């Protein structure tokens, strides 16, 4: 599933976040992945993304994604494109994330 970024962080200052003591959740509507990139990954890695979708739907613990602020607002994905796509397909509104600059 890629790299594991399980360091502790907390950021209450950013719009679109829901935070508790150890986790930050980012609104998936603010995470940018181009339609071309989504289609490429679905074509190439459909089975992996479907497995992740089922894991999200079952409420399993997933490695948080790594996001970077976009100049125009929102976030680009540094690590976790498959997880972001799977979360969107599962109908989630928020995803656990680490924000890097």
| Residue 76 counted as domain residue | yes
pLDDT in tens, 45-101: 999 999 999 999 999 999 999 999 999 999 999 999 999 999 999 999 999 999 998
| Residue 77 counted as domain residue | yes
| Residue 92 counted as domain residue | yes
The secondary structure element, H or E, covering residue 28 is: none
Q: What is the CATH number of the domain that holds 65?
A: 3.90.1530.10
| Residue 49 counted as domain residue | yes
pLDDT in tens, 6-53: 333 333 334 455 554 446 999 999 999 999 999 999 999 999 999 999
**Cα(25)–Cα(98) distance, integer angstroms:** 9
Q: Comparing C-alpha atoms, which of 37, 39, 11 is closest to residue 26? A: 11
Strand partners, 18: 25
pTM here is 0.78
| Residue 66 counted as domain residue | yes
Rg value, the chain, Cα? 13
Q: Comparing C-alpha atoms, which of 71, 100, 91 is closest to residue 80? A: 100
Domain span at residue 68 reads 19-100
Provide the domain count of the chain: 1
């Amino acid at each position: 599933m890629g790299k594991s970024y399980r360091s502790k962080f907390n950021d209450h200052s950013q719009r679109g976040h829901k935070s508790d003591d150890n986790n930050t959740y980012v609104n998936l509507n603010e995470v940018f992945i181009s339609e071309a990139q989504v289609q490429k990954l679905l074509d190439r890695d459909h089975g992996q993304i479907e497995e992740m979708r089922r894991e999200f739907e079952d409420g399993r613990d997933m490695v948080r994604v790594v996001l970077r602020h976009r100049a125009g607002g929102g976030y680009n994905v540094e690590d976790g494109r498959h997880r972001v796509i799977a979360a969107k397909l599962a109908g989630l509104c928020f995803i656990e994330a680490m924000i890097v600059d």
